[in-house]
Structure 1
Amino acid sequence: MQIEKIKGHQTEQLFKAVLELKNMDECYRFFDDLCTMSEIQSLSQRLEVAHLLRLKKTYETIKKETGASTATISRVRRCFDYGNDGYDEMLGRLYPEELPFQDSRK
């Protein structure tokens, strides 16, 4: 697990702050203060890439729909294959009717 690499006081503080957000408006205001527009767009794009990979979309389709580079798509795919299942867990909560990534490859 690579989680140990990011653990630390500052990361804990950030994650605790995110967990304290109460609604969408608070999220928008906090992330607008915390991140640049480019950083928010990059994070959002990665999550959408993960969602489309979970739906078994091709790299070409994902590239067209999100504007993500093949390097970004590959990076997200590696997280599905070798990561901590974070994308799949969160997408499962957002879209409970969809199959998990591993099951969707069968």
Structure 2
Amino acid sequence: MQIDKLRGEQLDRLFDAILSLEDREECYRFFDDIATISEIQALAQRLLVAKMLREGDTYGVIVEESNASTTTISRVKRCLNYGNDAYSMVLDRLEQNDKDEEER
């Protein structure tokens, strides 16, 4: 599995740091310190692409609305189809959070 190549003490520590963040503002502050704006935006763009692919949007629509390259779209699609189901897990949770907030 590709994920096993990622595992290690340094990455565990990074994930522990991320999991320790208490709210969105802390996330903004932390990510601003550890990554460039373009790196953070690229991650956000990939999540948007995954959402759009799951909703059945075409590459053309995704390119137009997200400004993602077709290479990025293809990579995300490959992860959705053959990856670790992490995009689906996160998108399902975000959708559930949205529903919960609407009900309040």
Say whether 1:21 aligns with 2:16.
no
Residues 34-70 of structure 1, C-alpha deviations (whole Å, 9 max, x = no match): 1001100100100000010111100100000000000
1:96 deviation in Å?
2.9
Aligned length: 97
**Greater per-residue helix proportion:** 2
Partner of 2:70 in structure 1? 70
Tell me how large the CA RMSD over aligned residues is: 1.1
Q: Under a length normalisation based on structure 2, what TM-score does the superposition of the two structures give? A: 0.90
Residues 15-48 of structure 1, C-alpha deviations (whole Å, 9 max, x = no match): 0101001001000000000100110010010000
1:3 deviation in Å?
1.0
Partner of 1:103 in structure 2? none
Counterpart CA distance in 1 for 2:96 and 2:19 is 21
Counterpart CA distance in 2 for 1:56 and 1:45 is 17
Counterpart CA distance in 2 for 1:93 and 1:46 is 16
Q: Percent identity?
A: 56
Query: Unpaired runs of 5+ in structure 2?
Result: 98-104
Partner of 2:100 in structure 1? none
Q: Relative contact order: is structure 1 or structure 2 higher (C-alpha 8 Å, sep ≥ 6)? A: 1
Q: Under a length normalisation based on structure 1, what TM-score does the superposition of the two structures give? A: 0.89
Say whether 1:79 aligns with 2:92.
no
1:7 deviation in Å?
0.3
